[in-house]
Amino acid sequence: MALKHVMINDIISEHSARMQNLKKYYPFFVLSETTFSQYKEGKYGFLDMGYITMASLRFLINENNFHEKDITYEEYESFMSELLRRDFDLDEPKEEEKQLILHIFDKLKNDGRAFEFKFYNPDTKSSQIARVKLIDSRIENGQVLYTITAEGIEFYLDTKEVKDESKINVSQLLLEKMITSNNFKGGIDVVKRINAQVIKLKAEKENVLKLLGMDIFEGNKAYTEYMDTIAKWFSEEQKLFAKNKALVDKAIKKAEFENNQAQDSDKSGEGGTKLLRSKALEEISSLENELKKTIYNHSQLIAETVELSQMADKIIGQAKLRKLRPVFDFRQSLVNIMKQDDPSLMAHVVMPLFAPRIEKTFSIKSIDNMLTLKSEDKQQGEKVEKASLDLDFKYEDEILDEKISHNFAMLFVQLLDQLKKWNKLSLKEFNGILEIKFTKDIYENRDYYAFLVHLAGKCEYSMKQMLVKQDTMLEGMVISYMTEDEKSQYEDMEFSISFGTEEIELGALGDNKEASPDRFVVTDMYFERRQG
């Protein structure tokens, strides 16, 4: 009976807090369901407002926190225009696109009002309304500036979309907003989350150290990645901790001052106000203690990272020294044999010791042979053998031409095959199919770009005509290296080519885009099969 009473009490007393925690998710689902259903008679129903919402929040976090500036509507419009064209292939007139982006932005900020989340409170036996906003605005020098709200950041963090090295920095921004808005209880939860991230990095440091002891190569790789992650946020982290600590100190002074005033003036009917102020002071103190704990853990992490760097250098140095040792370690070899529990391995150690000793001596009789040896005074000419003519010999440029022709024919056949399936195809879609078949390495093959250049030389292609007469070098190469089966399979194929305006970025040399100045960019093309 007592357990049932506890359960019912938990359901009633905790319900309001749970609903307040759920309210930050409410705007996302409202936006996902209703944004495009009525706009322009559902013309843009194919757009995913969930993705657009998450992208907008990430853009605001990036500008507000990482670049430390509020954004203007023009900056958001530029970002959203690029997103719609890149991710949804939207190609609308400029005015219609501007109206669409304005509609999206109005929905995100709910026309300046908060999203209202209604729920029943069993404590008061009445309906309550929780309000939440994703985007806030202010006017400065006659210009409207926009920032992400604390609820928007908290919602985005809960979706776990932020990169590991950015999680603590974004949490710090959320903490700053909560302290500024006097939401100290929510700030405590944020600081605990930051503390958990710092403790997680400390535990990861121990794993790196263990891996260095077991496998020097994998350990060195993990050590490098760990140090790169730590270095990305150390300096910025210290600034944010100092800033938030100053905000907490300021809030404590303000709360103590107001509490003292309340004690002086609390003579009649103000007990409730005094109680609220005492509770606020208690929450601020708890927040300060959590923040101090996190700062301590952070300083420990810095010290342990320095220690890890020193130990890693020592372990790697010893491993290098062992690799260079010129002697055979019999003791270690015996330990390895015992671990494998295989006595037959002793043969590798013992057999060389029982090998026959080979002595090299110089016979005295050889001196007489050296003195009486007659040298040949005649110079012997070099014997030249007449080589037979190799009819299959090919020069390097001929081999290169064959390779290019083979690649051109292969790409052309792939294009014909996809057009036979789908009738219409864009270059972006064709690239996706090639990536699956040949991986992204195809973008580092110069023949791929040469093929596109030659292919763009004509707007129409007909296999029947190509089989009879080849008008271009590309057609000649393709027909020469297509198999008879491929020729018969695609002999009725005809298609046309049109050109778009979108630039497709295919990557850079190697895997690191930022490290390479050579970016591969091509203009989109559209292929359409014609019925012959």
- Segment 231-267, tens digit of pLDDT: 655 555 555 555 566 666 666 666 666 656 655 555 4
Give me the pLDDT at residue 11, please.
80
pLDDT in tens, 150-205: 778 777 777 764 444 454 555 555 566 556 655 566 666 666 666 677 777 777 77
Give me the pLDDT at residue 165, please.
45
Give me the pLDDT at residue 388, please.
59
446 inside domain: yes
Boundary (domain end) residue, out of 342, 361, 376 = 342
Is the same domain home to 141 and 37?
yes
**For the chain, what is the mean pLDDT?**
75
Closest CA to 455 of 418, 505, 411: 411
Closest CA to 83 of 65, 103, 63, 59: 59
Helix or strand holding residue 290 (H, E): helix 271-324
Give the count of beta carbons closer than 10 Å to the beta carbon of residue 508.
17
Whole-number Å distance between alpha carbons of 452 and 456: 6
Is the same domain home to 183 and 150?
no
Contact residues for 498 (Cβ-Cβ < 8 A; gap 6+): 459, 525, 526, 528
In this structure, what token pair is assigned to residue 154?
Answer: 């908290």
Give the count of beta carbons closer than 10 Å to the beta carbon of residue 15.
15
pLDDT in tens, 433-463: 888 888 888 888 888 888 888 888 888 988 8
Is the same domain home to 24 and 125?
yes
- The CB-side HSE value for 241 (13 A sphere, CA atoms) comes to 21
Q: Which of 2 and 439 is assigned the larger pLDDT? A: 439
363 inside domain: no
pTM tops 0.75, yes or no? no
User: What does the angle CA 412 – CA 418 – CA 423 come to, to the nearest 5 degrees?
Assistant: 115
Give me the pLDDT at residue 515, please.
41
In this structure, what token pair is assigned to residue 297?
Answer: 């853990």
Using DSSP's 3-state secondary structure scheme, residue 385 falls into coil
384 inside domain: no
Give me the pLDDT at residue 512, please.
46
pLDDT in tens, 273-319: 555 556 666 666 776 677 677 667 766 777 777 777 777 877 777 77
Is the same domain home to 56 and 129?
yes
Whole-number Å distance between alpha carbons of 235 and 251: 25
Helix axes 26-34, 49-61, angle to 10 degrees: 130
Give me the pLDDT at residue 516, please.
45
> Dihedral of CA 354/360/363/368: which sign?
positive
Whole-number Å distance between alpha carbons of 54 and 37: 19
What Å distances lie between residue 322 and 219, 316, 366, CA to CA?
17, 10, 46
Is the same domain home to 338 and 482?
no
Average pLDDT over residues 463-480: 86
Average pLDDT over residues 451-479: 87
Q: Where are the alpha helices (DSSP H) in 159-270?
A: 164-180, 184-214, 216-265
- Domain limits for position 191: 177-342
172 inside domain: no
170 inside domain: no
Is the same domain home to 332 and 185?
yes
In this structure, what token pair is assigned to residue 224?
Answer: 């490098």
Q: Which of 364 and 421 is assigned the larger pLDDT? A: 421
Q: Three-state SS across 491-527?
A: CCCEEEEEEEEEEEEEEECCCCCCCCCCEEEEEEEEE
Do the Cβ atoms of 170 and 265 come closer than 8 Å?
no
Do the Cβ atoms of 184 and 165 come closer than 8 Å?
no
- Checking if the pLDDT of 108 tops 60, the result is yes
Boundary (domain end) residue, out of 342, 364, 384 = 342
Do the Cβ atoms of 106 and 127 come closer than 8 Å?
no
Whole-number Å distance between alpha carbons of 315 and 304: 16
Do the Cβ atoms of 523 and 431 come closer than 8 Å?
no
Is the same domain home to 131 and 233?
no
Is the same domain home to 23 and 157?
yes
Is the same domain home to 249 and 210?
yes
Whole-number Å distance between alpha carbons of 449 and 320: 45
101 inside domain: yes
Long-range contacts of 28-34 (CB under 8 A, 24+ apart): 28/53, 28/155, 30/115, 31/107, 31/108
> Dihedral of CA 80/81/87/92: which sign?
positive
User: What does the angle CA 151 – CA 155 – CA 160 come to, to the nearest 5 degrees?
Assistant: 150
pLDDT in tens, 133-162: 888 888 888 888 988 887 787 777 777 644
**What pLDDT band is residue 81 in, cutting at 50, 70 and 90?**
very high
Boundary (domain end) residue, out of 313, 342, 371 = 342
**What pLDDT band is residue 77 in, cutting at 50, 70 and 90?**
very high
Whole-number Å distance between alpha carbons of 168 and 294: 11
Using DSSP's 3-state secondary structure scheme, residue 362 falls into coil
5 inside domain: no
Whole-number Å distance between alpha carbons of 176 and 241: 10
366 inside domain: no
- Checking if the pLDDT of 364 tops 80, the result is no
Is the same domain home to 210 and 333?
yes
Task: Name the DSSP letter for residue 91.
Answer: -
Is the same domain home to 104 and 224?
no
In this structure, what token pair is assigned to residue 321?
Answer: 């020294």
Whole-number Å distance between alpha carbons of 381 and 459: 66
Whole-number Å distance between alpha carbons of 83 and 101: 11
Count up the domains in the chain and report the number: 3
Give CA 249 to chain center in angstroms: 37
**What pLDDT band is residue 4 in, cutting at 50, 70 and 90?**
low
Is the same domain home to 471 and 417?
yes
Q: What are phi and psi of 471, to 5 degrees?
A: -85, -25
Helix axes 446-455, 396-422, angle to 10 degrees: 60
Q: Which of 270 and 107 is assigned the larger pLDDT? A: 107
Task: Name the DSSP letter for residue 341.
Answer: T
